[in-house]
Amino acid sequence: MRKKIRIDETLCNGCGACIPACAEGAIKIVDGKARLIREDLCDGLGGCIGTCPYGAISFVEMPQPETNIVSHLHHVHTHTCPSQAIDIENHGRGKNHLTNWPIQISLLPLQAPLFKDAHLTISADCVPFAYSDFSSRFIQGRKICMGCPKLDDIYFYEGKIGQIISLNALKEIEVAYMEVPCCVSLARAVLEARKQSGKAIPLRLTRIGLNGEIKESKII
């Protein structure tokens, strides 16, 4: 299933508060009511929902073709990065603490020895550029993977991360994300992935501010 927004026209008064909150330009005022004019533009992240003072916007789940997740999982699992999944030794390279490769969520195998007893960081792509001490805070002593919930399929992330949790003996997961609506969806996806896996693995959510500071870090 994938999420889209739904606008209840009986509750909407046409105030337009939701329009600037929609980064995709999918909402417009038509005949005095807010309407989703392009469903294909709606990213399903819900940045507009909290802006409606009348509660007229909500999520609705829609069927998503199986090929978007299941077939893609099979494709990525059997066509990963040529290096597959390797541990990397740090040979005195200063602050470079990277210990595994590949790091893109889409390229990770579903199961690998490097995940055994690992503390896994799942980071949004933008975080290393915003948080200056990213390497020592989020990579040192851990395994790392990264992705962009805005540009990639967040439901694929959810399914794949759920499989990784299910198939490996991870010790802990930390999600590092920016304080913007699209990044928040990465945290939601990992929460749902853990739920689907049935494992009560410790999960820390760390939100990074636009000025590069840690705004919040909590275990869920």
Report the CATH number that the domain containing residue 27 is assigned in CATH: 3.30.70.20
In terms of domains, do 119 and 144 share one? yes
pLDDT of residue 119: 97
> Is pLDDT at 220 greater than 60 in this prediction?
yes
Domain encompassing residue 98: 66-219
pLDDT of residue 50: 77
In terms of domains, do 139 and 116 share one? yes
Contact call for residues 207 and 215 (beta carbons, < 8 A): yes
Domain boundary among 47, 62, 77: 62
In terms of domains, do 74 and 168 share one? yes
Specify the residue for token string 């893109």: 104
Phi/psi region, residue 18 (left: phi>0; alpha: psi -120 to 50; beta: rest), is: alpha
In terms of domains, do 77 and 54 share one? no
- Average pLDDT over every residue of 145-158: 89
In terms of domains, do 163 and 128 share one? yes
In terms of domains, do 32 and 78 share one? no
Lowest mean per-residue pLDDT among 8-22, 74-88, 169-183: 74-88
Lowest mean per-residue pLDDT among 45-54, 65-74, 86-95: 65-74
- Supply the mean pLDDT for the chain: 83
pLDDT tens digit string along 117-151?
999 999 999 999 999 999 999 999 999 999 998 88
In terms of domains, do 214 and 135 share one? yes
In terms of domains, do 205 and 120 share one? yes
Contact call for residues 6 and 59 (beta carbons, < 8 A): yes
The count of residues in the chain is 220
In terms of domains, do 109 and 207 share one? yes
Based on the structure, what is the number of domains in the chain? Answer: 2
In terms of domains, do 101 and 45 share one? no
In terms of domains, do 82 and 58 share one? no
Contact call for residues 48 and 181 (beta carbons, < 8 A): no
Domain boundary among 40, 62, 84: 62
Token readout for 80 is 């990963």
- Average pLDDT over every residue of 210-216: 94
